[in-house]
C-alpha cells in the first residue's frame, strides 16, 4: 500500500508486514515488521501540522544537541530518506516519515501501577532538564498557540456562536462547566501575561502511550515528538495529571468510573521533581497542582469546541463522541479539584523526603 513511499526510504514493501499502529488521534501511524528491522511509518496530518518541515528541523536540532551533550540518551529521531530529507511527499501530497522501531519496546494505554507514573514523569522531566541550556529560540513552533488556554477559550466562544441549536442544547451542562471554572483561565492569564513562568523545551503530549517501556516495565524513551517546542512546564505536568490519575481515559463513557488515584499524583511529583526539582522556579513549583486544572480544563474545552464545530478536528466514531469526551474531562476536573487538599499534603511530605535525602 505504501510501495513508493517505502522505495523513497530505500525499503521494499514486499519485505514488510504493514499494520496500523498506536492510538493517536491526529497522525496516521503504521508499524512495518520485517525480517531484520522493524520501523514506524507515519503520515503527518497537514491539516494540523501545516509546516511539517518545522517538525523535522526541530528534531534534528534537538538530536544534534543531545548527541553532543548526552550521547547515551535514547532519542528516537526520524530517519533520512534517499533524497537526504527526512520527509517524503507522496503523489497525493501527503507527508511521511520513518522512525526506527525501538527493539523490545511496547506502549501502554492506561497506567496500571504507580511505578509507571513515576518512570514516565521522570522521563519527561529528564528531557526538559537535558535541554535546559539549549537555546529555545532555535526551535520553531510546530503548532502556534497549541496550549494557549486563552485562545482555546476564545475558540470555544466563537464555536458557541456558530454552533447549531441542537448541539448547543445538548452541550448546555458542559458550557456551564466552562463558565463555572473561569478561575482557571484567570490564573493562566496572570501567569503568562506577566511572564511569571519561563518558556522551556517541553513535549506537550505526555500521555502514557508516548513513553516506550521495556519488557521489565522500565521506561526507555519518549516518542510522538511533533510538539516538542517552547512551552510551559505546566503543559507536560498537567497532561500527565489528565491522563495518569484516572483508571480510565478520555474515551470512557461510564463517567462513574472516572476518579483520581491520589497515590499516582505522588509518583508524578516525585518522578518529575527528581529531575527538575533544582531547576524549576518558585512560581513554577507553586503551580504544580494548577497544571492539572489547566490541562484538564483545556482538553474539556477542546473536545467541547470540536463538538460545537461538528467534529472537524478530532473526528467522531459515534454521533456525540466529542460531547462525551468533554463530559468525561469535566467530570475528571471535578474529581481533580476535590483531590487538591490531599495533593498539597503529598507535596509537603515528598518535599520533606527530598530534603532529608540531601542532608
312 binds ligand GN1 (CB under 6 A): no
174 binds ligand GN1 (CB under 6 A): no
Nearest to 231 by CA among 53, 58, 109: 58
| Site stretch for ligand GN1 (CB under 6 A), options 19-27, 109-117, 178-186, 332-340 | 19-27
Q: Please, what is the minimum distance in Å from the beta carbon of residue 280 to ligand GN1? A: 23
Q: Please, what is the minimum distance in Å from the beta carbon of residue 299 to ligand GN1? A: 6
**For 329, which DSSP code?**
H
| Site stretch for ligand GN1 (CB under 6 A), options 20-28, 154-162, 175-183, 333-341 | 20-28
222 binds ligand GN1 (CB under 6 A): no
Tell me how far apart the alpha carbons of residues 83 and 97 are, in angstroms, rounded to a whole number.
Answer: 12
Residue whose Cβ sits closest to Mg ion: 205
Half-sphere exposure of 277 (CA within 13 A, CB side): 17
Exactly one of 7, 18, 21, 24 binds ligand GN1 (CB under 6 A); which one?
24
Q: Please, what is the minimum distance in Å from the beta carbon of residue 228 to ligand GN1? A: 12
**Contact letters for ligand GN1, residues 242-281 (x by CB under 6 A):** --------x-------------------------------
202 binds ligand GN1 (CB under 6 A): no
Cell numbers of 282, please? 518558585
Residue whose Cβ sits closest to ligand GN1: 26
Write the DSSP string, 10-72.
Answer: T--GGG-EEEE-S--SSSEEEEEE-SS-EEEEEEE-TTT-S-HHHHHHHHHHHHHHHHHH-TT
| Residues that contact ligand GN1, how many (by CB under 6 A) | 8
Would you mind telling me the total number of residues written for the chain in this entry? Answer: 359
Cell numbers of 356, please? 532529608
Q: Please, what is the minimum distance in Å from the beta carbon of residue 204 to Mg ion? A: 8
| Residue burial 96-134, b: 16+ Cβ < 10 Å; e: rest | bbbbebbeebebeeebeebebbbbbbbbbbbbbbbbeeb
Are 73 and 66 within 8 A, CB to CB? yes
Site residues, ligand GN1 (CB under 6 A): 24-26, 48, 205, 224, 250, 299
Amino acid at each position: 500500500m505504501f510501495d513508493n513511499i517505502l522505495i523513497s526510504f530505500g525499503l521494499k514493501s514486499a519485505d514488510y508486514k504493514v499494520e496500523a499502529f498506536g492510538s493517536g488521534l491526529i497522525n496516521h501511524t503504521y508499524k512495518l515488521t520485517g525480517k531484520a528491522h522493524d520501523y514506524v511509518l507515519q503520515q503527518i496530518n497537514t491539516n494540523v501540522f501545516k509546516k511539517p518541515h518545522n517538525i523535522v528541523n526541530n528534531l534534528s536540532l534537538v538530536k544534534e544537541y543531545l548527541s553532543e551533550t548526552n550521547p547515551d540518551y535514547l532519542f528516537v529521531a526520524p530517519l533520512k530518506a534517499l533524497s537526504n530529507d527526512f520527509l517524503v511527499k507522496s503523489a497525493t501530497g501527503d507527508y511521511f516519515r520513518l522512525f526506527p522501531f525501538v527493539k523490545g519496546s511496547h506502549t501502554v494505554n492506561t497506567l496500571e501501577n504507580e511505578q509507571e507514573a513515576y518512570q514516565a514523569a521522570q522521563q519527561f522531566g529528564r528531557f526538559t532538564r537535558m535541554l535546559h541550556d539549549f537555546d529555545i529560540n532555535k526551535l520553531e513552533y510546530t503548532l502556534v498557540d497549541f496550549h494557549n488556554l486563552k485562545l482555546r477559550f476564545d475558540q470555544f466562544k466563537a464555536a458557541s456562536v456558530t454552533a447549531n441549536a441542537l448541539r448547543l442544547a445538548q452541550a448546555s451542562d458542559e458550557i456551564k462547566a466552562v463558565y463555572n471554572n473561569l478561575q482557571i483561565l484567570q490564573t493562566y492569564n496572570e501567569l503568562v501575561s506577566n511572564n511569571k513562568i519561563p518558556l522551556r523545551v517541553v513535549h506537550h503530549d505526555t500521555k502514557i502511550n508516548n513513553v516506550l517501556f521495556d519488557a521489565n516495565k522500565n521506561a526507555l524513551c519518549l516518542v510522538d515528538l511533533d510538539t516538542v517546542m517552547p512551552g510551559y512546564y505546566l503543559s507536560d505536568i498537567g497532561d500527565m495529571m489528565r491522563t495518569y490519575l484516572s483508571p480510565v481515559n478520555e474515551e470512557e463513557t461510564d463517567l462513574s468510573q472516572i476518579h483520581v488515584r491520589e497515590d499516582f499524583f505522588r509518583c508524578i511529583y516525585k518522578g518529575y521533581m527528581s529531575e527538575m526539582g533544582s531547576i524549576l522556579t518558585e512560581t513554577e513549583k507553586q503551580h504544580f497542582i494548577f497544571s492539572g486544572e489547566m490541562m484538564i480544563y483545556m482538553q474539556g474545552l477542546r473536545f467541547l469546541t470540536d463538538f460545537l464545530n461538528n467534529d472537524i478536528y478530532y473526528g467522531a466514531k459515534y454521533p456525540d463522541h466529542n460531547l462525551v469526551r468533554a463530559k468525561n474531562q469535566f467530570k475528571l476536573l471535578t474529581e481533580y479539584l476535590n483531590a487538591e487538599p490531599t495533593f498539597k499534603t503529598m507535596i509537603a511530605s515528598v518535599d520533606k523526603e527530598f530534603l532529608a535525602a540531601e542532608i
